[in-house]
Structure 1
Amino acid sequence: MNAILHAQQLTKHYPGSIALDHVDFTALAGESIAIIGPSGSGKTTLLHCLAGILRPDAGSVTLASQAGTIDLGTLPDAGLSRLRREEFGFVFQQGMLLPELTALENVALALMLNGTDRRTSESRAADWLGALGLAGMEQRRLGELSGGQVQRVAIARAQVTGARVVFADEPTGALDSATSSEVLNVLLGSVAANGRTLLVVTHDPNVAARCGRIVELRDGRIVADSAPPVAPAAAPINFKGAFNV
């Protein structure tokens, strides 16, 4: 496997504290990586710097693309926005979806922002929703869905564009244990089925143990980086080739 994301000497300060202290990090294509650590350790800051949401004070982040290596630090804000739309997908604790839109519209919007026509976007969105167990719920708004179903919509949105790296920040943090396990199965299964790289920030040791690698941060530094002691595979999911990206 080849490196897809590489960070070197990442440093990020906030008033009165240092969130990242000269962090080196590499993610390989197809890996699932859990980023763990106590509150304030720098987990989310690292995720946001890797995803181009935050600019580090020092250090670099590079992405291996078909066109060559992209240095995120050299991109203007518009270039970073385009990169996030095309190369990265995001799943957040609260979904960060638009409640005014239906499930189908929320997923299709990710494609339409990239210039795909509405008909094609909605067709691909419907394929993803169906593959993730939401067939028949395409026209429901978020208030008509359970927490687990909303996160499935977010997972579909994160991958419908063909994003090669999916960033998940506490994706199961607002869910009960049974729903958390169900959503994690869907997230890991769908990412693996499409050969994507997954980075998950989590406080939950059960979530971390399901990933292929665990990176632990403390006080803005990586203090451990290894495979988990027990890493059961995601429960089998029959996606029936429904993904169309």
Structure 2
Amino acid sequence: MTQPILVAQGLTKSYGTTRALDDIILTLFPGESVAIMGPSGSGKTTLMHCLSGILVPDTGSVQLNIGDSDSIDLPTLSEEHRARVRRDHLGFVFQEGLLLPELTAQENAALPLMLSGVSRSTAQHHARQWLSTLGLDGMFERRLGELSGGQVQRVAIARAQVAEPAVVFADEPTGALDSETSKTVLTALLNTTVGQGRSLVLVTHDEDVAARCQRLIHVRDGRLVSDSADTAGVNR
């Protein structure tokens, strides 16, 4: 049986009197793509942030199993240690990219490696490889204002993938794109994660985007109300 890459148990999170997460249980396996859907305010982004260590849940555990090392329980780590885990083992793609406009495409893509202590030349070499894989040859020195929306998102994907993370988290990665560009960006994201045996957790409002993931989860009022892996009778 395949060992899961991530196991969340009993996650709760409240903001004042609002229960954003209510006893969430979720298991993610290597090479799996999971779409999380739900209405605005349902808790889906809070769930993604707790799974990735951006937020600490009020209760519950998030076990991350990386390589041959012991599992890491993200909520028990210090903020500094969680940041290091995110930098070294997780990747992120957001709706607006959240790239640095003063940097070039290759500098943006190389940033995670440089923050981990990799030399500038080596980091930029790996960044150029990823940008080329994503169809951005000849655009290494361009700044964000010189790129289209779809190209910017592919730079964001290169940045997310450059450290070869175990899991990539994507929050509405195609939300600001037209339908054709959305398809191109999503294909690139899937090919560079699931296509390489890594896992993808994707938050989306778009049913067409969700349909391209292997597994669909619905969240409502902070609770996980359906999981297609259950209905499909998945046996790992």
Partner of 1:234: none
Task: Please say if residues 12 and 18 of structure 1, whose CA atoms lie closer than 8 Å, have aligned partners that are also in contact.
Answer: yes
- Percent identical pairs in the alignment equals 61
Greater than 2 Å deviation, 4+ residue runs: none
User: After superposition, what is the alpha-carbon deviation per residue over 1:193-222, rounded to whole angstroms, capped at 9, x for unaligned?
Assistant: 321100000000000000000010001001
Partner of 2:18: 17
1:54-69 superposed matches below 5 A: 54-66=55-67, 67-69=69-71
Tell me the CA shift for residue 106 of structure 1: 0.2
1:98-109 superposed matches below 5 A: 98-109=100-111
- Find the residue that maps to 2:11 and give its secondary structure: strand
Tell me the CA shift for residue 64 of structure 1: 0.5
Partner of 1:206: 208
* TM-score, normalising length: structure 1: 0.91
Aligned partners of 1:219 and 1:109: how far apart in 2?
36
Partner of 1:243: none
Partner of 1:173: 175
1:140 maps to amino acid: R
Aligned partners of 2:88 and 2:125: how far apart in 1?
18
User: After superposition, what is the alpha-carbon deviation per residue over 1:128-155, rounded to whole angstroms, capped at 9, x for unaligned?
Assistant: 0001000000000000000000000000
- Find the residue that maps to 1:11 and give its secondary structure: strand
* TM-score, normalising length: structure 2: 0.95
Task: Please say if residues 66 and 166 of structure 2, whose CA atoms lie closer than 8 Å, have aligned partners that are also in contact.
Answer: no
Partner of 2:35: 34
Tell me the CA shift for residue 192 of structure 1: 2.2
From 194, 197, 218, give the equivalent of 2:196. 194
Tell me the CA shift for residue 16 of structure 1: 2.7
In structure 2, relative to structure 1, the CA distance for the partners of 1:154 and 1:13 (3 Å cut) is: same
Task: Please say if residues 213 and 228 of structure 1, whose CA atoms lie closer than 8 Å, have aligned partners that are also in contact.
Answer: no
Partner of 1:78: 80
User: After superposition, what is the alpha-carbon deviation per residue over 1:38-70, rounded to whole angstroms, capped at 9, x for unaligned?
Assistant: 011100000000000000011111101221111
Work out whether 1:48 is the aligned partner of 2:52: no
Aligned partners of 2:24 and 2:181: how far apart in 1?
34
Tell me the CA shift for residue 227 of structure 1: 5.2
2:19 maps to amino acid: I
- Find the residue that maps to 1:8 and give its secondary structure: strand
Tell me the CA shift for residue 190 of structure 1: 1.3
Instruction: Point out where structure 1 has 5 or more consecutive residues left out of the alignment.
Output: 230-245
- Find the residue that maps to 1:104 and give its secondary structure: helix
Task: Please say if residues 211 and 228 of structure 1, whose CA atoms lie closer than 8 Å, have aligned partners that are also in contact.
Answer: no
- Find the residue that maps to 2:63 and give its secondary structure: strand
Partner of 2:234: none
Aligned partners of 1:75 and 1:17: how far apart in 2?
25
Aligned partners of 1:77 and 1:15: how far apart in 2?
22
Aligned partners of 2:162 and 2:195: how far apart in 1?
13
- Find the residue that maps to 2:225 and give its secondary structure: strand
Task: Please say if residues 208 and 228 of structure 1, whose CA atoms lie closer than 8 Å, have aligned partners that are also in contact.
Answer: no
- Find the residue that maps to 2:154 and give its secondary structure: helix
Partner of 1:120: 122
Task: Please say if residues 22 and 223 of structure 2, whose CA atoms lie closer than 8 Å, have aligned partners that are also in contact.
Answer: yes
